[in-house]
Structure formats: structure tokens, C-alpha cells
Chain A
Amino acid sequence: SAVISQKPSRDICQRGTSLTIQCQVDSQVTMMFWYRQQPGQSLTLIATANQGSEATYESGFVIDKFPISRPNLTFSTLTVSNMSPEDSSIYLCSVGGTYTDTQYFGPGTRLTVL
């Protein structure tokens, strides 16, 4: 299984600011995903980030609010822009392969917006 790290592990931010979350994988992967997990809730897919193409966003999530970069096959970033308290969540990246459905998750970034 892939080893995934995320930075920062947690942060407390002020309303109106932006935070960039990094996701690093120990091997090259084709597909990376970003999920949001609101307090006490399930996971909701924000977008799919494939290297060499624009991220694909799910309904309810837009690029201006959650810009994503995928510069290579081991790294991706998710920015949460112009934050409000409603953005307080755990943000998780996951990785999967082209020929496997298995997805592995990073430890998550716990974001609190004041």
C-alpha cells in the first residue's frame, strides 16, 4: 500500500484567509482524490486530480474555492480559499491506481476556521 503524508496535520485559520494543504505519496500514482469530512460526518469527494490535466470537481465544489495542483505523480495540493467557519472540516487526500480500485487515504488535515 502507498504511504501518504499530509501537511499541515491541523491548523486554525481566520475567516477570509486561505490555506494550502499538501499531499505527498511515496510512489508514483495516477489518480489522486481530495475529500472533505465535516465534523461527525461521512466523506464527500471534492475533486479528482490527475497529473497533466485539470482537476475534475464534484457538484457543489468549484475551482475558485478549492484550487488544486498536481505537478507530478507523487504530489498534489488543495487550497481552501476565502475561508469561512463552514469550511471547518478534515480534508483528506487519497490515491488510487489506474488498474486497481483500491484507494488509500492520508492522515488528513484538520482545519478550524474562526
Chain B
Amino acid sequence: QQQVKQSPQSLIVQKGGISIINCAYENTAFDYFPWYQQFPGKGPALLIAIRPDVSEKKEGRFTISFNKSAKQFSLHIMDSQPGDSATYFCAASGKSSSNTGKLIFGQGTTLQVKP
């Protein structure tokens, strides 16, 4: 119940295209869903996050779509650029007494944007 499943494992997109990464979760106590971007040799950087009370959140070229009934959420990167090439992690956390604040991470997606 604590797992977050992420797909695909790797993704190759042409410059200007749309990158889509999907995540699914089981634990209905999760109420916070962030996406992190990690470049080689760096720590993960928070990209965008969403709560279940909204179905979509957009920040610049990055959009999270959230489907509460399906327990799925996805990251869309519009107009993908070579500089977006990185590893992306979805995560989830909840406020239950057993996991307050701690993040459960997906397996990660390595994105390569070709020029």
C-alpha cells in the first residue's frame, strides 16, 4: 500500500514535443503529490506539486494531471527542451500518524530530449 509505481522507466522525446510520465498509488491516505527533477550529481529539486482537491496544476511548461478516482497522476512537459533531460521522480506523502511528512518515491524516469 505504500508503493508508488512510475512509468515509463525511460523516455526519449524530440525537442518541442510533449513528455508524459505517469504514476499510480494505492494508499488513499496520501494527500500530497510532488514531482522532483534530478540532474546527475545533484540532489532532487522540487518541480511542481499537487493536492487531491484539484485535478490539474500548471506552472510554466510543467503540468500535473490528477485523477483521484483512478489513483493516478501524471507530469506533462510541454515544448520539451534538451535542458529538460534529467531523471524525474514522482512521490507521495500523507498526514497519517505512521507516515507524517515522509515521501514515498516512484522508481524514476530518465528523460532524454533530442535536439
Contacts and interface: CB of A to CB of B under 8 A. Distances in A.
22 contacts: A1-B46, A4-B43, A33-B101, A33-B102, A33-B103, A42-B89, A43-B44, A44-B105, A45-B104, A48-B102, A94-B103, A101-B34, A101-B49, A102-B46, A102-B49, A103-B46, A103-B101, A105-B43, A105-B44, A105-B45, A107-B42, A107-B43
Contacts of A42: 89, 105-108
A23 to B, nearest CB: 11
Interface in B19-67: 32, 34, 36, 41-46, 49
Interface size class of A (residues with CB under 8 A): 20 to 34
A83 B107 CA distance: 25
Looking at chain A's contact residues, is the secondary structure mostly helix, strand, loop, or mixed? strand
A42 B36 CA distance: 11
Interface in A1-28: 1, 4
B82 to A, nearest CB: 21
A67 interface: no
B108 A101 contact: no
Contacts of A1: 46
Contacts, number: 51
Nearest to A4: B43
A107 B101 CA distance: 20
A103 B103 contact: yes
B93 interface: yes
B44 A96 contact: no
Contact of B32 (A33, A41, A94, A101): A101
Given A42-B107, A102-B34, A102-B49, A92 B44 contact: yes
A8 to B, nearest CB: 14
